[in-house]
Structure 1
Amino acid sequence: MKYAICYDGPGRLRLRLGQHAFSEEEGWGIASLLRQKIGVERVRTCAQNGSILIYYGAEIAKENLLELVGKLRRADIPKVEPTGEEDVQAIDLRFQEKICSMVLRRVAEKLLLPVPLQICKTCLRAVPFLWHGLRSLLHGRMNVNVLDAAAIGASMLKRSFSSASSIMFLLSFSDILEDYTRKRTETALSASLAIQIDKVWLVTPEGDVQIPLSDVKAGDWLRIRTGTMIPIDGKVREGEAMVNEATMTGEPLAMRKAEGAMVYAGTLVEEGSVAVEVMAVNAQTRIQRIMDLIAASEELKASVQGKAERLADRIVPYHLLTAAAVFLLTRNTTKTMAILTVDYSCAIKLATPIAVISAMREAANHRMMVKGGRHLEAFGAADTIIFDKTGTLTEACPQVSQVIAFGDYERDEVLRTAACLEEHFPHSVARAIVRQAAEEGLFHEERHAEVKYVVAHG
């Protein structure tokens, strides 16, 4: 791939490959490939302008990253699912595109489209609104759809097609905001439960081999060790372990899993090492089915948002009665139209989700993820907050400060051997030892027999 360097700063590199150099799905694959390299902390891609933004640490040289991108071919890009951050980024981008498209299209129509064609387009756009209002009346419901239809219909009867068009534009804008809010909250929820594992250890006759999770299929055996989240549903075939199933059952105490027991994706091996035969992976896992169920049924709107929508429906009859009273008293259609078009209920429905979105975005800017308006409200009423320490109040990133060798052992040999053993365990202390060896250039081959872990004895 050919690229140009747009920004080159400490720990941050932005490359531009050109518009449409890769698709959105290929961008996810490129990001996944780069994240697998030691030292790459974060990658963001944008298919619209073909840019790749890379955040990296001291463990990898900038030249190595450039060489990797330069040698990348389209056939090398894996097909992967987007991460939670990439999902949110895609939703935000589509929302911005829809809003910009709506505004530009409206301005272009006003400036370029002849008036007769504008009237025809307004009449066609009004049909769905009028139908929804009529259907609500036929079902005995006096809701916002009726008020919308009344305002649009009255504007058109008065031949004020510009007013009717403006009302429909604002209503469409409100629908886009509501859809954006719903998708964003569902994505945040899914990301909080998602399995954030890229690679796993496959059990083979020649020994354990590390492979991408995307390559795992039913019937494979995976080695799951202490501190590792189980990424699949399966049955234990070898070993024993204490597994924390709090994500599935809410039970905080770990359960012993021996040969023949079932284990599920999203649970955590606290102690031990097991070989698990894969029964279900990705969309077929139980945790994924739970996520789908929550996404389909859970209403994450703030209660104030629900109250606003109910209030909007309740004031519709009073709104229509006010308009009728004004007409009876004044016989002035212009004043009556003013009552109908000043749609307070629409403003109530529109303002509330905007406030919730703004608050969630503000929280995200301070590195806090809010899963929905309901939780935002609960946070406002809280007087006590309980934190999970690791990764919340701490970085979960210890550093090796000193290596002490005893007897006839050399310091480098001790660190190399320790890293060789610890590379199989994703505990934060294990990662610190492996990282220190890599920083000092103490690269190692597999120099040991199979690593065995005894529950409660290490």
Structure 2
Amino acid sequence: MVHETPNRVRLRCTLLYRPELDLDYVKAILSSFKGVTQVRLNPRAASITVHYDGRSGVKELLVSTLDNLPQEAYLPRVQENDQMDLLNVTALGAFALVSPFLPRPLAKGLSWLAAAPTLMKGVETLLSKGVKVEVLDAAAVGMSLARADYFTANAIVALLTLGRYLEYTSDKKSVDLLTSLLKPQVEKVWVEIDGAEVSMAADQLEIGSLVIVGSGEMIPVDGRVEEGEASLNQSSITGEAAPRHVAPGDAVLSGAVVQEGRIKIKAGQVGNQTSMARVNRFLENSLRHKSEPERRTEELADKLVPFSLGLGLAEYAFTRDFRRAASVLTVDYSCALKLAGPVGVRTSMYNASQSGVMIKGAQALESMAGVDTIVFDKTGTLTTGDLKVTQVVPFNRLSEDRLLAMAAGAEEHYTHPVAKAVVKRAEEKGLPLPAMSQVDFIVAHGISAYVDGIRVLVGSHHFICEDEGVDTSQADLMASKFRQEGKSILYVARKGVLEGLVVMEDEVRPEAPMVLKNLKEQGLKKIVVLTGDHMETARHLADNLGEVDQIHWELKPEDKAEIVKGLQAQGTKLAFVGDGVNDAPALVSADVGICMPLGADLARESAQVLLMHDDLRGLAVAREIAVRSQSTLNHCFRATLALNTAVLALASMGVLSPLTSAIMHNTSTILTLGYATTRSMAKTKMAEKN
């Protein structure tokens, strides 16, 4: 720690000297800590400056984090960590202007000194990477120096430095926009205290807390399994698709999701320290991985560098004119082609986030632009998901309130819309909920729990009757009537006997018909709806929505994934929209998985696009931004080729001087970056309607 004030601290960290350190990753981790408002890194000085709100523990957390950076903080390939200095740009520009008026020997010495970094970078690049844009720059400057045209040489160096500075600031701004989105949200967790399961906010956890995580939930802490066994999905952390089995004694990381089973974890690291895995995952997707168009554009840019160099050498071989050859060498396609894509993608992602959509990376943005079919899981997407309990029907000696309290006691452990409806109704009536233990969530079926040693089952007819063998015949007529009215039914059983029904109804989202119409106007060919509801309820929904091409009813979770794969087999590019644990297989199978904001952890982690507001209009916004992003990339590509080819042609004909050629080339690059940024930040039609 070098210096501190009540709201600012400056640290010296020699790790910043390491060229393979991912500075974006480090900045994102430090920015994600609660209370931190700004982070600035200076790798040349090995300095980190952090502004925060003065809360205690932040300084210690910063030092601890930097002392224990994970391996993911280091890139497999060395990156350029040079931070451009505006003062240096200004000094080089001023020197270029005064160099014609300096004594000849002084101008010569200072010009070679100013050009030395460009020349050395060109030689180093040629020896280590081959013919790249740095080689062109060095050749153009070297030729101008060789013919004693010091003003041109200095002006080209100043322009190159100015171009790199503007590119650096554009790229830095786009990264900063994204890292500003990484503040972790407070999550609810379940903790065992004196044998009872108690709900609390994640930021209230302490080291040593016994955290309970069940099927479909994300692990909120780093720690070790104390009790139980589970199958974990760690793809969002490690990239490994295969599930990992854990048992008592095994270490687990925050960000993994329990696919099956239920475990109790003794917390080793809590709070902001456990956000590293999520920050890394987001950065890995959005900042390190490039889309296919970006990769193709970069490959083309690299292939065009030898062309420019060869043209410059040929120009000199035929004309013996250093001036014309230098003019050709100041033009390259690489800068604009390589930078417009990443800047445009990151800016588009930020624009989407400001409209309530988190798009997890360049590949997701590209895939979203290419979809022609959208498949919706009904509950919580096309409907509000805000189910309301309309009736409680007991069949035995339990009262309505006791039946409701028993169902709510089991359901309060989960965030599914059905669970929320039951718990909300119990809270409205002021009912005390019984203490539950051994709560087990069976995906898409129901919940098994114990109250005072007695097993309670809450779930669908399939779960209660077919899976658990409970006789539900006394409810058949009544249940059929409720379904014909478009209502959903929750069965409640105790000790193997049906105790009653909890009847609920859902409403179509008011914005849903407009969104579906807008998606069709954007060029989507097919809209498909999947639901576990009975046929009558499903058809009633389709009639209310309009624009629905297909609807499938009475589906199981595995059926949804099979329908998605079947549509893909027909050649469609498909997006799936869902929010439940049972939607995760379909979200993974789709070309693009889209999750609603209140979705289960497993669904949120499986999706490539996350709607951050409970409003379906974000889906139309995401689609429009994605299409515009790809269009912008294509426009930048064509404009770069056209402008630079024109400059190159004029330079090769001797029309342009080296200085004019450099000015026109750098101007085209700046204009291309400005266009990519401006168009990517423009408001969408749906956002304007909002």
The bucket for the TM-score relative to the shorter chain is 0.5 to 0.7
The residue aligned with 1:170 is 163
The residue aligned with 2:311 is 322
Deviations 1:6-34 (A, max 9, x none): xxxxxxxxxxxxxx996697996369xxx
Classify the secondary structure of the residue corresponding to 1:29.
coil
Deviations 1:355-381 (A, max 9, x none): 444554565566544433344444455
**Equivalent of residue 339 in structure 1, options 320, 328, 331:** 328
User: Structure 1's 270 and 163: CA in aligned 2 closer, same or farther, altered over 3 A?
Assistant: closer
Deviation, 1:153, is: 3.5
User: Could you tell me whether the CA contact under 8 Å between 1:226 and 1:269 is conserved in 2?
Assistant: yes
In the aligned structure 2, how far is the partner of 1:343 from the partner of 1:30? Answer: 45
Amino acid at match of 1:29: K
In the aligned structure 1, how far is the partner of 2:156 from the partner of 2:204? Answer: 57
User: Could you tell me whether the CA contact under 8 Å between 2:212 and 2:265 is conserved in 1?
Assistant: yes
Deviation, 1:266, is: 3.7
**Equivalent of residue 307 in structure 1, options 286, 293, 296:** 296
User: Structure 1's 313 and 251: CA in aligned 2 closer, same or farther, altered over 3 A?
Assistant: closer
In the aligned structure 2, how far is the partner of 1:196 from the partner of 1:453? Answer: 25
Classify the secondary structure of the residue corresponding to 2:388.
coil
- The size of the alignment, in residue pairs, is 372
Deviation, 1:235, is: 5.3
The residue aligned with 2:674 is none
The residue aligned with 1:127 is 116
Classify the secondary structure of the residue corresponding to 2:439.
coil
The residue aligned with 1:348 is 337
Classify the secondary structure of the residue corresponding to 2:360.
coil
The residue aligned with 1:153 is 142
User: Structure 1's 311 and 183: CA in aligned 2 closer, same or farther, altered over 3 A?
Assistant: farther
In the aligned structure 2, how far is the partner of 1:396 from the partner of 1:126? Answer: 64
Deviation, 1:145, is: 1.5
C-alpha RMSD of the superposition: 5.7
In the aligned structure 1, how far is the partner of 2:115 from the partner of 2:278? Answer: 40
In the aligned structure 2, how far is the partner of 1:198 from the partner of 1:225? Answer: 15
Structure 2 gap segments, 5+ residues each: 10-29, 41-52, 63-82, 442-447, 449-456, 459-690
User: Structure 1's 304 and 234: CA in aligned 2 closer, same or farther, altered over 3 A?
Assistant: same
TM-score (norm 1): 0.57
The residue aligned with 2:265 is 276
Deviations 1:47-83 (A, max 9, x none): 99xxxxxxxxxxxxxxxxxxxxxxxx955898999xx
User: Could you tell me whether the CA contact under 8 Å between 2:203 and 2:270 is conserved in 1?
Assistant: no
User: Could you tell me whether the CA contact under 8 Å between 2:136 and 2:330 is conserved in 1?
Assistant: no
User: Could you tell me whether the CA contact under 8 Å between 2:226 and 2:248 is conserved in 1?
Assistant: yes
The residue aligned with 1:398 is 386
In the aligned structure 1, how far is the partner of 2:199 from the partner of 2:273? Answer: 22
The residue aligned with 1:245 is 233
User: Structure 1's 351 and 285: CA in aligned 2 closer, same or farther, altered over 3 A?
Assistant: closer
TM-score (norm 2): 0.41
The residue aligned with 1:29 is 34
Greater mean alpha carbon deviation, residues 108-117 or residues 309-318: 108-117
User: Structure 1's 285 and 172: CA in aligned 2 closer, same or farther, altered over 3 A?
Assistant: same
Classify the secondary structure of the residue corresponding to 1:142.
coil
Deviations 1:192-212 (A, max 9, x none): xx9865343332338445555
User: Structure 1's 107 and 327: CA in aligned 2 closer, same or farther, altered over 3 A?
Assistant: same
Deviation, 1:338, is: 2.3
User: Structure 1's 29 and 322: CA in aligned 2 closer, same or farther, altered over 3 A?
Assistant: closer
Residues 48-447 of structure 1: pairs in structure 2 closer than 5 A: 74-75=54-55, 102=86, 115=98, 126-139=115-128, 141-155=130-144, 157-159=148-150, 160=152, 161-177=154-170, 198-205=187-194, 207-214=196-203, 216=205, 219-225=208-214, 228-232=217-221, 237-238=226-227, 245=233, 247=235, 250=241, 265-268=254-257, 274-278=263-267, 288=277, 291=280, 295=284, 300-357=289-346, 359-361=348-350, 363-364=352-353, 367-384=356-373, 393-394=381-382, 397-400=385-388, 402=390, 404=392, 423-434=412-423
In the aligned structure 2, how far is the partner of 1:237 from the partner of 1:130? Answer: 61
User: Could you tell me whether the CA contact under 8 Å between 2:225 and 2:251 is conserved in 1?
Assistant: yes
Deviation, 1:169, is: 1.4
Classify the secondary structure of the residue corresponding to 2:191.
strand
Deviation, 1:335, is: 3.2
Classify the secondary structure of the residue corresponding to 2:34.
helix
Deviation, 1:428, is: 3.2
Deviation, 1:450, is: 4.8
Task: Please identify the structure whose Cα radius of gyration is greater.
Answer: 2
Amino acid at match of 1:158: D
Deviation, 1:147, is: 0.6
User: Could you tell me whether the CA contact under 8 Å between 2:229 and 2:263 is conserved in 1?
Assistant: yes
The residue aligned with 2:73 is none
In the aligned structure 1, how far is the partner of 2:363 from the partner of 2:342? Answer: 12
Q: Percent identity?
A: 28
User: Structure 1's 314 and 126: CA in aligned 2 closer, same or farther, altered over 3 A?
Assistant: same
In the aligned structure 2, how far is the partner of 1:212 from the partner of 1:347? Answer: 47
Deviation, 1:146, is: 0.5
Classify the secondary structure of the residue corresponding to 2:307.
helix
User: Could you tell me whether the CA contact under 8 Å between 1:423 and 1:434 is conserved in 2?
Assistant: yes
The residue aligned with 2:439 is 453
Deviation, 1:165, is: 0.5
In the aligned structure 2, how far is the partner of 1:149 from the partner of 1:363? Answer: 40
User: Structure 1's 321 and 449: CA in aligned 2 closer, same or farther, altered over 3 A?
Assistant: closer
User: Could you tell me whether the CA contact under 8 Å between 2:32 and 2:184 is conserved in 1?
Assistant: no
User: Structure 1's 360 and 76: CA in aligned 2 closer, same or farther, altered over 3 A?
Assistant: closer
User: Could you tell me whether the CA contact under 8 Å between 1:177 and 1:353 is conserved in 2?
Assistant: no
Deviation, 1:308, is: 3.0
Deviation, 1:430, is: 3.3
Deviation, 1:349, is: 2.8
User: Could you tell me whether the CA contact under 8 Å between 2:313 and 2:325 is conserved in 1?
Assistant: yes
Deviation, 1:173, is: 3.1
User: Could you tell me whether the CA contact under 8 Å between 1:151 and 1:164 is conserved in 2?
Assistant: no
User: Could you tell me whether the CA contact under 8 Å between 1:227 and 1:426 is conserved in 2?
Assistant: no
User: Structure 1's 170 and 270: CA in aligned 2 closer, same or farther, altered over 3 A?
Assistant: closer
Amino acid at match of 1:429: V
In the aligned structure 2, how far is the partner of 1:147 from the partner of 1:290? Answer: 38
